[in-house]
Structure formats: structure tokens, C-alpha cells
Structure 1
Amino acid sequence: MQILMTLSRLIDYPNQALVAVAEDVVQAIANDNSLCSDDKHNLIKFFDDRCAMDILDWQSEYDALFERGRSLSLLLFEHIHGESRDRGQAMIDLLNQYKAAGLDIGVRELPDYIPLFLEFVSTQGTDNAISWLQDVAHIFALLKVRLEQRDSDYAVLFSALVNLAQADIDYADLAQQVQGEKRDDTKEAIDKVWEEEMVKFGPDQNNDTCPSTVNRPSASQSRTQEVPIQMMDAVIAETIAKEASQATTIPGGK
């Protein structure tokens, strides 16, 4: 399911290299047989609108959405395990899955980063890809609803992923859940997290233990310096171009 490679790039941090292959991206979406017509239309409109923006404005909006707070985190296991020890084991298990498939992460990124995960899934063949997507479809659906609440067109990317997973999602229930959530991306909310988790040194400490870091934003969430995350970065443009010239879905493989 090579369309997942394209979606991986669209969800990842935007850069000029992506804009440079805009025609190939649009053709890859238009020619893919696994996407429904509505998703094709919405994805192409999303990309056309984004490419019409100044790249710095696009990057700034991306940072505001995905780099502040955790409700829109692009780290899968953060939505499941938070910062518990279970998350660490889950990442080890996922990394082992990557290695078993013959894939290595050659960049500084956590294995549960959604664009990286989608690259992996794109190499697993259609049936396996659907199974993998179904495992996390509820997270994609939650991100979709939260993005819609913020009037962000990024919601269409996660809507397409849910549809590719062929998952049955109760969006009404999710919308009710999200409606009651407090925004965690405001300056006040972010400042409060850091104030509560501030590390104290010296004799003024109340005890000898270090404060919990459960709610502290992780360093990996920062994109102050752009770092490519792809495992297969050298073949992404070629893969997208190949997609654009074919009218059938090609089972992935590296």
C-alpha cells in the first residue's frame, strides 16, 4: 500500500523538497485505487492549498498544531501509554518489528512517530498494512476529530488513514469526548506543565527523589531544527513518482 508513503510525507514536517515534487504527489493520490473519491479530492485540495502557502507559514502552523501540548502528538504510544514504562516496552517491540522486516531507523526519531510508522507499514503488503492500520485506527480517528475541532485541514489526512484501515469508528462518541477536553496548547497550559515539573536542586528540595517527568514534553517533540525522519528517504521521491505513473496499488517492499 504505497499511498501510505505519500501520506507519511504529508504528515511529516513540511519542507521545500516536498513542494518541489508537488506534481508527483498529486498524481500519486489521483491514481491510487485504495483511496475513495472523497479522500482523493480532500487530499489533493489539502496539498494544493498548502503548496500555495509560504513554506515558513506552513511550518509555523504545523508547529502550532503538533509541537505544543500532547493532544495532537504524532507519537502513537503517547496516546496509549503516556510516559509510563509500558510505552518504552511498546517502542522496543515496534522497533523489533522494523528490524524483523529488514528496516533500520537511520535517523534520530522514536519508532512510534506516525510518519515513520507509516513508512514501515507501506512495505508490508496490502493485507498486512490494513491489519497494522486497524491496530491504531482509533488514534487516527481521535486526531482527526481534534483537528476538526481546531478547524485544521490536516484532519483529512487522518480521515484517509481511518478509511484505509477499513475501521468502524463512532465519530459522534469521539466528538463528545473531545468537546469536554481542555486545550493543552495554550501558553498558560504549557507554562503550567513546566512549572509543575520543574527540577529543584540543593537543600531546598523536599525529598531526595527527582520529580516525575510524566507530563514533561519530550525533547523528541521539538522541531526547532528540521531533521529528516525517513528510513527510506533516498527512495521517497522515486516511489511517489512511480505511484503517479501506475493506476493500481502496488504491495510495498524494500
Structure 2
Amino acid sequence: MSLLKLVGVLLDYPQDALWQHGDELLAAADDPGLPQARRAALAGFVRELLASDPLEAQDRWLSLFDRGRSMSLLLFEHIHGESRDRGQAMVDLIEAYRKNGFELDAKELPDYLPLLLEYLSLRPQEEARDWLHHVSHIIGLLAARAGERQSPYALLLELLVEYAEGGLDLGALRKRASEEPRDDTAEVMDRLWEEEAVRFGAEAPGEDCQPATRLPSRAATPAAPRQVQP
């Protein structure tokens, strides 16, 4: 299992089957291409995850990645928000997958980071680094936000920035993250739901049916494991 494949698996929602492949995950964490300190930290992350109760691990994942927009693993959400440009960008990404002989095998958005990592793990290293370099500013900010929330997932995101050989100033990003208002608190999420409730008459949405902000998912039931099949 390559490093990108491993990080994608670990960033994804922790399905129960994850605990059945502990030895494989630990073996992949011992990647000789990583500095010794990073290898030890990655192995520690895997051991801690495997030692966790699956329900608790799943709840931690949902609390970090599924509450609010700032930690979304949907990359285009950080670039395009809910604009029409996002739809075209996803069409282009799907075409890039297909051009290289791959087809999505799940009802998952193509810009979902673990899915992209699975695809890139099957591409030449130089190409994978280039892809990640182009989105490293997003991944770096996600890493900074995760670190600000004292989440161990920050390690995985930092590894991706380092893999892309990006010249990001993580210190500056951490400072920015520390100054951002949190969007994952109960108060903020309740306010979003109130603002986005169905309205009629003069308060109804415009003809494009686009709400001002995205509805929080309220920890929806996750989909089946995502895969990119040749």
C-alpha cells in the first residue's frame, strides 16, 4: 500500500472493516520514504486509531469533518463554494479520471480528498505530486485548522503538503486558523439551519434555487467505501 493510498484510507470515514486490516496499515505506515520522525508519528496515529472503539472513532471523524464547511474534505467547496463553477470543475475532474481509464465506483463527489488520493496513488509519482501541489494551499489550511482543534488528523494533512513539496508557511496558516471563527459549534449550526429553512413568498430562493450557504449534513449516514476502479 502506497503512502497516498494509506493517507486516503485513514482520512476517509473509518468503516468497521478498517480494524480488520491493522497489520497492513501498520506495515504501510513504515514507509522508508518518510523521515524517521514522521514514520513514527504515522505509526502512532494508526495504532491509536486501531486501539479506539469504532463508534468513538467514527464520532470523532464526524465531529471534525462533517460539521461546518471549514474542514470539508470536498476540495472544490473551498475553491468554488456553491457557485456554478463548482459543477463544471467536477465534470472536468471526472473526465480526467476517465481519460486515464478510471471510473468512479460509488456515489461520491469526485473532489472528495480520500477518493482523489486513491486515484493519485495509481498514477506516476511526479503527476501525483503535481496534482497535490495545485491544491496544497487548501490541504495546508485544513492541516492548520485540524491542528488548531488539536486533532491527530492534522498529521495526515501535513504529510500531504510535504509530499507535494509545497512551500507553504504552515506557521502563518496556523495563525490564520487560530483567528478564524469556528463554524462547527452547535450554536452556529443551529443558526444555519434556521437561516436555510424553507421560505415562501418574498423570502423564497431565487430562480436558480441556490441557497446562500450549504446546509450542514447533520452527521448523515456515510456511503459505502469509495474506490476508483481501473
Given the two structures, how large is their TM-score scaled by the length of structure 2?
0.93
In structure 1, the residue matched to 2:138 is 139
After superposition, the C-alpha distances for 1:2-24 in whole angstroms (9 at most, x for unaligned) are: 32111110000102211111111
Q: Deviations over 1:26-65 (max 9, x none)?
A: 11121x2332222211111011011111100000111111
CA contact (8 A) 1:84 1:214 kept: no
Q: Could you tell me how far 1:223 is from its partner in structure 2?
A: 3.8
Shift of 1:187: 1.0
Q: Does 1:22 align with 2:22?
A: yes
**1:79: how far off?**
0.9
Higher RCO (CA < 8 A, seq sep 6+): 1
TM-score by length of 1: 0.84
| Contact 2:6-2:25 at 8 Å conserved across structures | yes
Q: Specify the alignment match of 1:8 in structure 2.
A: 8
C-alpha distance 214-96 of structure 1, shift in aligned 2 (>3 A): farther
CA-CA distance at 1:197 after TM superposition: 1.8
Q: What stretches of structure 1 move > 6 A for 4+ residues in a row?
A: none
* Aligned partners of 2:8 and 2:115 also within 8 Å: yes
Give the distance between the partners of 2:63 and 2:77, measured in 1 at CA. Answer: 18
Between the two proteins, the alignment pairs up a number of residues equal to: 229
One-letter amino acid of the structure 1 residue matched with residue 206 of structure 2:
T
CA shift digits 1:202-231 (9 cap, x unpaired): xx4446736642412366x85424421122
**Do structure 1's residue 209 and structure 2's residue 206 form an aligned pair?**
yes
Work out whether 1:37 is the aligned partner of 2:73.
no
Matches within 5 A, 1:92-171: 92-171=91-170
What whole-Å deviation, never above 9, does each CA across 1:76-107 have from its counterpart, x for those lacking one? 01111111111111111111100001110111
* Partners of 1:208 and 1:69 in 2: CA distance: 21
How far does the alpha carbon of each residue in 1:148-171 deviate from its partner, in whole angstroms, 9 at most, with x for none? 111110100001111111111112
Query: Matches of 1:207 and 1:25 in 2, distance apart?
Result: 50
Alignment partners' CA distance in 2, 1:187 and 1:212: 24
SS at 1:151 equivalent: coil
Amino acid corresponding to residue 97 of structure 1 in structure 2: A
Provide structure 1 residue ranges, at least 5 long, that are not aligned to the other structure.
233-253
Distance of aligned partners of 1:206 and 1:87 in 2 relative to their CA distance in 1, 3 Å threshold: closer
Secondary structure at the residue paired with 1:21? helix
RMSD: 1.9
In the alignment, residue 134 of structure 2 is paired with which amino acid? D
Q: Is the 8 A contact 2:13 2:61 kept in 1?
A: yes
Q: Decide whether aligned partners of structure 1 residues 206 and 146 sit closer, same or farther in structure 2, where only a CA change above 3 A counts.
A: closer
Q: Which amino acid aligns with 1:42?
A: A
Change (3 A) 1:205 1:119: same
Which consecutive residues of structure 2, in runs of 5 or more, have no partner in the other structure?
none
Cα distance in 2 for partners of 1:54, 1:99 equals: 38
Aligned to 1:195: 194
Does 1:178 pair with 2:177? Answer: yes
Taking a change above 3 Å as real, the CA distance of residues 226 and 214 of structure 1, as seen in their structure-2 partners, is same
